[in-house]
A = this chain, B = another copy of it.
Amino acid sequence: MKVSVSKEDHLKAIFHLQQEHGTVTTNALAASLGTRAASVTDMLKKLKEQKLVNYERYKGFKLNNEGKKAAVQIIRKHRLWEYFLVKKLQFGWDEVHEIAEELEHISSRKLIDRLDAFLGHPDTDPHGDPIPDSQGRLQVRRQVSLAELPLNKPAQVSGIASQTSEMLELLQYNHIRLGTRLEIRKKFPFDHSLEVKVRNRPPVTLSAQVAKNVLVTDDEPPTEKR
């Protein structure tokens, strides 16, 4: 069966893509959503109609202010639910994405604000991504990928860029998770793989592909309260 991809899914995906590339292309969005270019074009017309996106045919597109606000509200819902699942229902941080993907479509605004209060207004979700507050303010944090981290510079894992369950499993296996303090002991130019040292553990080797997707800060760990 052809699975329907909602307006909300489009907004969220555009938001993430435009963070990386400034402007978004039809094909990129289609790939990200697992749909076809033609379907994306159809949706773009609707989003333009609703004044959520700046779009001229054949030129790319990006969210306008209204669109960004809407996208951030969805991200807020997603991350609050992930936090709930991990902190209250004892899920592992690597099992919550799909469930939150469903929960984020629940529409009640009051529900989300109540949930936020119940959780104590958390700052960051279980993957280390910041949770927008009820005004839609998204705290920006300076993150670099592990691949860019200098040798021997202590850092802390603050986010995972690509949250496939395969990736999360690999990290889990290597005892790398949010908040883990580590540093790079050696870089192998041949394949850009890294030897990484975590305190109290033997060193592990990570591929360049993994390193690109592990985000770190030299900053403080994510706090529970705002």
Q: Of B102, B107, B110, B118, which contacts A106 at CB under 8 A?
A: B102
Interchain CB contact under 8 A, A107 and B102: yes
User: Assembly of this chain: how many copies?
Assistant: 2
Contacts of A45 in B (CB 8 A): none
Q: Of B85, B106, B114, which contacts A90 at CB under 8 A?
A: B114
- Per the bound structure, the CA–CA distance linking A186 and B108 in Å amounts to 40
Interface residue? A138 (CB, 8 A): no
| Chain A contacts to B: CB under 8 angstroms | 85, 88-91, 98-99, 102-103, 105-108, 110-111, 114-115, 118
**A197 to chain B: closest CB distance in Å?**
29
Interchain CB contact under 8 A, A108 and B99: yes
**A123 to chain B: closest CB distance in Å?**
20
Contacts of A118 in B (CB 8 A): 88-89
Interchain CB contact under 8 A, B89 and A115: yes
**A95 to chain B: closest CB distance in Å?**
8
**A118 to chain B: closest CB distance in Å?**
6
**A76 to chain B: closest CB distance in Å?**
16
Q: Across the interface, name the chain B residue whose C-beta is closest to A90.
A: B114
A–B pairs, 13, beta carbons within 8 Å = A88-B118, A89-B111, A89-B118, A90-B114, A91-B110, A91-B114, A98-B108, A99-B106, A99-B111, A102-B106, A102-B107, A103-B103, A103-B106
- Per the bound structure, the CA–CA distance linking A106 and B107 in Å amounts to 13
